[in-house]
């Protein structure tokens, strides 16, 4: 599983990014909104990733921050919504606007998105209304890739290494809240390590003991 990639922007076009990571070119599908927030070709970029395995292909989906990735995974929970449609939804609006539309049950706004029909818009509102409202009600503010403010408290204490460790654990199958608590507990016990693999391994050990996945 790939939780994130850090490399040089080699090329980008509508909906796609080619990232040079140590001489290997990773092709990622990305919402245009996220692509626009990346540095220009030739500069280094950090991209959060969700890996989708299918019988005939392995696809990488990239996001400018962990919150955008979280929304993508939330959309995939809805019946009939696949990765490509979830990407269309994220490309059409900021995180905050999307959460507002879901929380308020704004079917018409969702139907305006390419690929979202009346039934799908209804399912999105019914299935995600409470989750969206909860995210909007949480304290603090986090800017998404378009600069809109999204209500959210940090899920994990620590710096970027801690956040990256949480993303990696989520990509390995653990729930984000559980992963964040495990990483925070490890940091509290032994301090934040510069080695992300050490942090991930210790957090996995804690999660395994708790039986959470």
- 146 and 74 belong to one structural domain: yes
The better pLDDT of the pair 56, 91 is held by: 91
- 77 and 50 belong to one structural domain: no
Q: Is the pLDDT of residue 66 over 50?
A: yes
Number of domains forming the structure of the chain: 3
What is the per-residue pLDDT across 152-164, written as a single tens digit (0 to 9) for each? 334 444 455 777 7
Q: Is the pLDDT of residue 48 over 50?
A: yes
Q: In CATH, what number is assigned to the domain containing residue 31?
A: 2.40.50.140
Q: Is the pLDDT of residue 55 over 80?
A: no
Which structural domain, as residue segments, surrounds residue 84?
67-151
The residue out of 42, 63, 84 marking a domain boundary is 63
Q: In CATH, what number is assigned to the domain containing residue 167?
A: 1.10.8
- 41 and 91 belong to one structural domain: no
What is the per-residue pLDDT across 148-191, written as a single tens digit (0 to 9) for each? 333 333 444 445 577 777 777 776 667 777 788 888 888 888 76
- 71 and 146 belong to one structural domain: yes
Q: What average pLDDT does the segment 37-55 reach?
A: 89
Q: What average pLDDT does the segment 10-19 reach?
A: 93
* Cβ contacts of 126 within 8 Å, gap of 6 or more: none
Q: What average pLDDT does the segment 15-31 reach?
A: 94
pLDDT at 171: 65
* Cβ contacts of 73 within 8 Å, gap of 6 or more: 50, 170
pLDDT at 145: 39
pLDDT at 149: 35
- 188 and 125 belong to one structural domain: no
* Cβ contacts of 209 within 8 Å, gap of 6 or more: none
The residue out of 30, 47, 63 marking a domain boundary is 63
* Cβ contacts of 28 within 8 Å, gap of 6 or more: 5, 16, 17, 18, 19, 47, 49, 60, 61, 62
- 73 and 144 belong to one structural domain: yes
pLDDT at 164: 73
50-64, 65-79, 91-105, 126-140: the lowest-pLDDT one: 126-140
The residue out of 16, 48, 63 marking a domain boundary is 63
Q: For the chain, what is the mean pLDDT? A: 81
pLDDT at 61: 94
């Amino acid at each position: 599983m790939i939780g994130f990639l850090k490399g040089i922007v080699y090329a980008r076009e509508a909906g796609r990014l080619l990232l040079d990571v140590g001489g290997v070119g990773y092709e990622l599908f990305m919402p245009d909104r996220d692509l626009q927030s990346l540095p220009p070709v030739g500069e280094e970029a950090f991209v959060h990733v969700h890996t989708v395995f299918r019988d005939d292909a392995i696809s990488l989906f990239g996001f400018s921050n962990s919150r955008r990735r979280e929304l993508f995974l939330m959309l995939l929970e809805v019946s009939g919504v696949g990765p490509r449609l979830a990407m269309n939804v994220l490309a059409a609006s900021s995180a905050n606007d999307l959460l507002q539309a879901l929380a308020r049950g704004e079917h018409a706004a969702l139907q305006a998105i390419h690929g979202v029909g009346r039934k799908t818009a209804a399912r999105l509102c019914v299935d995600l209304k409470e989750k969206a409202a909860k995210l909007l009600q949480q304290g603090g503010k986090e800017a998404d890739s378009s600069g809109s403010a999204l209500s959210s408290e940090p899920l994990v204490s620590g710096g970027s290494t801690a956040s990256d460790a949480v993303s990696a654990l989520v990509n390995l199958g653990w729930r984000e809240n559980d992963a964040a608590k495990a990483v925070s507990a490890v940091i509290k016990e032994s301090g934040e390590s510069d080695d992300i693999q050490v942090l991930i391994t210790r957090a996995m050990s804690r999660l395994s003991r708790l039986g959470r996945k």
